[in-house]
Structure 1
Amino acid sequence: MEWVKKFLWKSVICRFGFPHTLIVDNGSHFASTNVCEFFQSHGIRLIFTYIEHPQSNGQVEAAKKVVLYGIKKQLEKTWTSWIDELPRILWSYYTTPHSSIHEPLFTLVYEADAMILIEIVEPTFQVDFFNEERSDNDQRAYLDTTKEV
Structure 2
Amino acid sequence: MDIQQSFTFVAYQQVEVTDRDIVARIKARLGKHQQGWVDELQHVLWAHQTTPKDSTNETPIRLVYGTEAVIPAEVLVLTTRITTFDEQQNDEALRENLDTLEERWTIAHIQQA
Alpha-carbon distance, 1:121 to partner: 2.1
Alpha-carbon distance, 1:147 to partner: 6.7
Residue segments in structure 1 that go unaligned for 5+ positions in a row: 1-51
2:66–2:101 CA contact under 8 A, matched in 1: no
Aligned partner letter, 2:39 = D
Residue 41 of structure 2 corresponds to: 86
Match for residue 113 of structure 1 among 42, 50, 68: 68
1:124 aligned onto 2:54? no
Bigger strand fraction: 1
The structure with higher relative contact order (CA 8 Å, sep 6+) is: 2
Q: Percent identity among equivalent residues?
A: 34
Residue 38 of structure 2 aligns to a residue in which SS? Answer: helix
1:97 aligned onto 2:87? no
Alpha-carbon distance, 1:135 to partner: 2.8
Bigger helix fraction: 2
The aligned length equals: 98
- Alpha-carbon separation, structure 2, partners of 1:60 and 1:71: 17
Residue 63 of structure 1 corresponds to: 18
1:74 aligned onto 2:29? yes
Point out 4+ residue stretches in structure 1 off by more than 6 angstroms: none
Residue 136 of structure 1 corresponds to: 91
Larger deviation, residues 114-123 vs 70-79: 70-79
Q: Deviations over 1:6-59 (max 9, x none)?
A: xxxxxxxxxxxxxxxxxxxxxxxxxxxxxxxxxxxxxxxxxxxxxx75342211
Q: Deviations over 1:55-102 (max 9, x none)?
A: 422111111111111011101177651111111111100110111221
Residue segments in structure 2 that go unaligned for 5+ positions in a row: 1-6, 105-113
- Alpha-carbon separation, structure 2, partners of 1:79 and 1:145: 43
2:65–2:98 CA contact under 8 A, matched in 1: no
Q: TM-score, normalised by structure 1?
A: 0.55
Residue 31 of structure 2 aligns to a residue in which SS? Answer: helix
Aligned partner letter, 1:100 = S
CA RMSD of aligned residues (A): 2.6
